[in-house]
Structure 1
Amino acid sequence: MALSSFYKRRKAGSEQQPPGPTPYPVIGNLLELGDKPHKSLAKLAKIHGPIMTLKFGQVTTVVVSSASMAKAILQNHDSSFCNRMVPDAACSYNHQEIGMVWLPVSTPWKNLRKICNLHIFSSHKLDANQDIRRKKIKHLLAYVEENCRVGQAIVIGQAVFNTSLNVLSNTIFSVDLVDPTAREFKDIVWGIMTELGKPNLSDNFPLLKKLDLQGIRRRMTIHYSKIFEVFDRLIDQRLDQRQEHGYNTSTESSDVLDTLLNIRQDKSVEIDGNDIKHMLLVLFILFPFLHKFQVI
């Protein structure tokens, strides 16, 4: 069953809303989510229909739980629902104003989308990186086979996580994170994903955002600071290498970092160093995270 959630804060009674369960004062329908929200929402949909309104704290949420209804919204009314609610955890370093995932439809968003469509996710680029993906999958299978041979237990989640990071790191930086010096980077990535996945009172009760009662935004700021330091080092190293070897943007094969640096140098699209770092953050963490949790 396809499930999509669209968050839109509205003034009470200002618009007709789809049916849904009666919310409790203050907390709304939060208690009805339970420990398995997807199953709870599926049960509620059987009662209230394929499109229903829920109140999560102070935030009104419209939940669509049928493929036909989701298609109608995403294709026929995409302009009304193209923006998304930005989790408070993602607002550190003003990422919501620069990161492509959170930007509203605008010129900066269109520029970043153009870069992704033409230079990062094009069929040509994906085909060029096929060998990297195949190689890392073979490494994962070999790792599993070796542990099975010696009777060693495997933490599948960690093994898959490491493989995914190594695929991304080779595609973006041409660097393998298996190297022990990259353990810090893995810890930062894991920390960011953990904080993004935590229920946050600030998302359900916007009045509490300034207080950051759970300290999630504070910890995210620390993680962002560390990962941007890593990106700065990698970018500086790449710029030194390009200057030393006389990099030719028209003939050299390039990874994602080289591609972004070429775009900045050629000024084919207006981006700066800060845009590049936030783009790398999106590619390394937020795209895999959103795909994992099927956030549209």
Structure 2
Amino acid sequence: MNFAPLSHAMQSWANSDIYALLYPLFLLLLLLLLLILKKHIQSPPSRGQTLPPGPRPWPILGNAMEIGFKPHVSLSNLARVHGPLISLRLGSQLLVVASSPAAATEVLKSQDRLLSGRCAPQAFPISASVLERSSFIWAPECTERWKLLRALCRNELLSAKVLETGAALRERKTAEVVEFLGEKEGKVMEIGEVVHTLVSNVLSNLCFSKDFIDLRGGVGREFKEIVSAMKKLVITPNVADLYPGLLGKLDPQGLRGRPWNAIED
């Protein structure tokens, strides 16, 4: 192929008045973007606070590059250097990691009422006000309503008495899975899918006295696909989670609402 005409056209455009006008404008927009990102990274809540030690963050990106694609390995290596409590920056977000049994006990048990709030992924098409009223998993703050919901769940679903009562149910559901695997002897099976169905049915029977998913397909297929799509969505890296104040409403990767769209795709 002859690329000479294309090269000549690009050179002509570079020498034109349009390029001379747009190039400074592009640099100005890039500078403004960097200033906005810097402002969001150096957010007022983090100033003046005494934070645990940690690696020095890079401009704009923070410590995202140091975590990489194997965060469990990276965080273990950082804990050897900086101790059991580590401060990290992921974009504009502050992340404190507890990596020892004593630190985890302090966070999850001793101070759990103060530290159990969760930032819901920006991909979820649910506002923070709705989550605050109806969720204790993704509740942004540990309010009195959150404490009430957690106490209700602990007493009605996770107490020792309830777990002991549900032992027969778990045994029955496990036996059904063993029987199902016996029917599939000699065939290739996705064990992860079978275990997912088992756990879902145990929880659904605990809450609603009914199976949500049929081991042999059919019933519950749509529910299973939605749950699988939501799990995939949660673990998908989203730049809006790193800069929620700047990119949260823009949804640059188009992930918001994808669990339902994934079924149609």
Q: What is the TM-score normalised by the length of structure 2?
A: 0.71
Check the 8 A contact 2:63/2:90 in 1, yes or no.
Answer: yes
Q: Does 1:219 align with 2:253?
A: no
Q: CA deviation at 1:10?
A: 5.4
CA distance in structure 1 between the partners assigned to 2:150 and 2:50 by the alignment: 34
In structure 2, relative to structure 1, the CA distance for the partners of 1:107 and 1:54 (3 Å cut) is: closer
Q: Which residue of the other structure, out of 220, 226, 230, is the alignment partner of 1:182?
A: 220
After superposition, what is the alpha-carbon deviation per residue over 1:95-129, rounded to whole angstroms, capped at 9, x for unaligned?
42221213333232233223213322233332332
CA–CA distance in structure 1, aligned partners of residues 136 and 119 of structure 2? 13
* 1:32 shift after superposition: 1.1
Q: Report the more deviating stretch, 88-97 or 32-41.
A: 88-97
Give the deviation of 1:57 after TM superposition. Answer: 0.9
Does structure 2 retain, via aligned residues, the 8 Å contact 1:10–1:60? no
The answer for the alignment partner of 1:6 in structure 2 is none
Residues 137-193 of structure 1 deviation map (CA, whole Å, 9 limit, x = unaligned): 112222223333xx2111111111111122222222332221613211111111122
Paired residue type of 1:23: P
Structure 2 unaligned spans of 5+: 1-42
Corresponding residue for 2:161?
Answer: 124
Q: Which has the larger radius of gyration?
A: 2
Does residue 102 of the first structure (1) align with residue 141 of the second (2)? no
Judging changes above 3 Å, is the alpha-carbon distance between structure 1 residues 12 and 184 closer, same or farther for their aligned structure 2 residues?
Answer: closer
- 2:202 maps to a residue whose letter is V
- Counterparts in 2 of 1:74 and 1:169: CA distance versus 1, 3 Å: closer
Q: Does 1:25 align with 2:63?
A: no
Determine which of 197, 200, 216 is the counterpart of 1:162: 197
CA spacing shift, 1:17–1:157, aligned 2, 3 Å: same
Residue 26 of structure 2: aligned partner:
none
In structure 2, what is the Cα distance between the partners aligned to 1:126 and 1:197? 30
**Distance (whole Å) between structure 2 residues aligned to residue 11 and residue 173 of structure 1:** 42
2:146 corresponds to which letter in structure 1?
W
> 1:63 is paired with a residue of what secondary structure?
strand
CA spacing shift, 1:117–1:189, aligned 2, 3 Å: same
Moved more, 62-71 or 112-121: 112-121
Compare 11-20 and 194-203 and name the one that shifted more: 11-20
Does 2:94 align with 1:57?
A: no
Contact 1:33 1:40 in 2 (8 A): yes
Offset, 1:46: 0.9
Are 1:90 and 1:96, in contact at CA under 8 Å, matched by a contact in 2?
Answer: no
Aligned 8 A contact 2:114 2:142 in 1? no
Does the 8 Å contact 2:93/2:243 carry over to 1? yes
TM-score for the superposition, normalised by structure 1: 0.64
Name which of structure 1's ranges 99-108 and 198-207 shifts more when overlaid on structure 2: 99-108
**Over the residues paired in the alignment, what is the CA RMSD in angstroms?**
2.4
Partner of 2:7: none
Distance apart, 1:136 and its partner CA: 1.3
Q: Does 1:134 align with 2:171?
A: yes
- 1:131-280 map, 5 Å: 131-148=168-185, 151-176=186-211, 177-178=213-214, 180-206=218-244, 207-220=246-259, 222=260
Give yes or no for contact 2:66–2:74 (8 Å, CA) kept in 1. yes
Unaligned runs of 5+ in 1: 1-8, 224-296
Which structure is richer in relative contact order (CA contacts within 8 A, separation 6 or more)? 1
Answering whether residue 79 of structure 2 is matched by residue 36 of structure 1, we say no
Partner Cα separation in structure 2 for residue 185 and residue 81 of structure 1: 32
Deviation at 1:77, TM superposition (A): 4.0
Distance 1:128 1:10, change over 3 A: farther
| Cα contact 1:202–1:209 (8 A) shared by 2 | yes
